[in-house]
Amino acid sequence: MQKGRISLMTFGRKHFGTILALAAVPCLLVGQAHAQVSSGNGFTVFTPNGPQPGVDFVRAKALQMPINNVPQDQIQAQIAALMSPPALGNPGASPGGAGNGAETPVFLGAPEGAGDDGMGQEMFGTNNHPFSTARADLTGLATNRNYPYRPSGKLYFKIGASTFICSASLIKRGIVVTAAHCVANFGKKQFYGSWQFIPGYRSGVAPFGVWTVAQAWIKTSYYNGTDSCAVAGVVCANDVAILVLNQNAGAYAGTATGWYGYGWNGFGFAGSQTHITQIGYPAGLDSASLMERNDSSGFVSAANSNNTVIGSNMDGGSSGGPWLVNFGIKPTNTGETDGTAPNPNIVVGVTSWGYISKAPKEQGASPFTNTNVWSLVNSACTSIPAACL
């Protein structure tokens, strides 16, 4: 495959031409007879009003990533980002919480392999962007069941009769953030359905249970296809979605797992540069059975709808996984001082797109702003306040 092809982590189909058009995705509005879709104030929300079809935890396929054009010169793009940071407004962040760690394990069945149907993986690629990809889930240790890893998880959902996977993470007790392309078909006014979030997923086991979705929120511009996109439906300004979970036994998932904070308008960035820790379940690594971690510098690319670009070896299935600044357990200062924006475990993006070719090894994420993630969370919390307490 040519280096110049990039991919939405969309699902298996043949790739014709340079850009993979989302319009070609054969998706359906799942459970249309038992759901309500409403729009207002720039947002569109999907609310299931009845039982949703069950998902297939064993034979689920990775939702492949959207496909972007290779920028002309990534070295020059990074220099340009340093010289001209975007004006995004005042940065801000909402803090996370560690949770109590109580487990309610459910065995879902060992996955057969989430193969991404021809999508290539994305260390140092032809775009000269260094990174480090390794298992976040340290087999033999309960990494997946400890904070700050456990708010990340695997997201199952239905498109028509088939089950697919993305990645996602908690940013409130009952609020999950993922990519809009894991929720709806860009520009087609079609939602997917039957979302089930598995925090801390490991090899067919759900240590904190399985969580269904009460509402799915996206920007109306993504829903109807008017979003600002450098590549239509792929590299966009608002590939961000919020899912409000249902309670299990009167509690939300974050009560046990905790949740990440989230930032907007360039929080944690110095100009247009930052350091990103990416979490996800890519099909090309351990068959999406284990949580994976990637660490890389990130820069804001003006040519790519102000998307943040990192080096990464993840692929389909990692879509919607969190991009965090200051990841880890914050140390106690004993003679040192904090730098600027020291808040730990702040999500500032989610995996949105990557390349079909294995060579570039880069991925992108829509910017988190006060007009997408901040407003989406506020709208969801206004609709179902208990999820945000």
For the stretch 40-74, pLDDT in tens is: 999 999 999 888 889 999 899 888 777 665 554 55
> What's this model's pTM, rounded to 2 decimal places?
0.81
**Residue 389 belongs to some domain of the structure:** no
Report the number of distinct structural domains present in the chain.
Answer: 1
Q: Do the bridges between strand 205-206 and strand 43-48 make them parallel or antiparallel, or are there none, so unpaired?
A: unpaired
Q: In this predicted model, what pLDDT tens digit does every residue of 68-101 receive, in sequence order?
A: 655 545 555 655 665 566 666 787 777 777 777 7
**Residue 208 belongs to some domain of the structure:** yes
The residues, any chain, with a CB within 8 Å of residue 213's CB and separated by 6 or more, are: 48, 176, 195, 196, 197, 243, 244, 245, 246
Q: Which two tokens stand for residue 179?
A: 């990519």
How many angstroms separate the CA atoms of 221 and 216, rounded?
15
CATH code for position 290: 2.40.10.10
Q: In this predicted model, what pLDDT tens digit does every residue of 283-320 receive, in sequence order?
A: 999 999 999 999 999 999 998 999 999 999 999 999 99
**Residue 1 belongs to some domain of the structure:** no
**Residue 175 belongs to some domain of the structure:** yes
168-182 mean pLDDT: 98
Residue 122: pLDDT band (50, 70, 90) is very low
**Residue 174 belongs to some domain of the structure:** yes
Q: Which domain holds residue 269?
A: 6-384
Residue 334: pLDDT band (50, 70, 90) is very high
pLDDT at residue 10, rounded to an integer:
39
Q: In this predicted model, what pLDDT tens digit does every residue of 141-153 receive, in sequence order?
A: 899 999 999 999 9
Say if residue 224's pLDDT is above 70. Answer: yes
Radius of gyration of the chain (CA): 19
Q: Which of 328, 236, 313, 327 shows the shortest CA–CA distance to 276?
A: 327
**Residue 271 belongs to some domain of the structure:** yes
Cβ burial of 159 (10 Å; 0-12, 13-18, 19+) is buried
